[in-house]
Structure 1
Amino acid sequence: MAKIIPQRELRNENAKLMDAVSAGETFVVTRNGEPVAELRPVQAARKTFITRDDLARISAAGVRIDPDQFRRELDDAVDQSV
Structure 2
Amino acid sequence: MDAVEAGQSFTVTRDGHQIGELIPLKRRRRFVPRAEFAAMSQGAPDISLETFRADQDATAAQETDDPYAR
Q: Which has the higher contact order (CA 8 A, sep 6+)?
A: 1
TM-score (norm 1): 0.40
User: Highest Rg: 1 or 2?
Assistant: 2
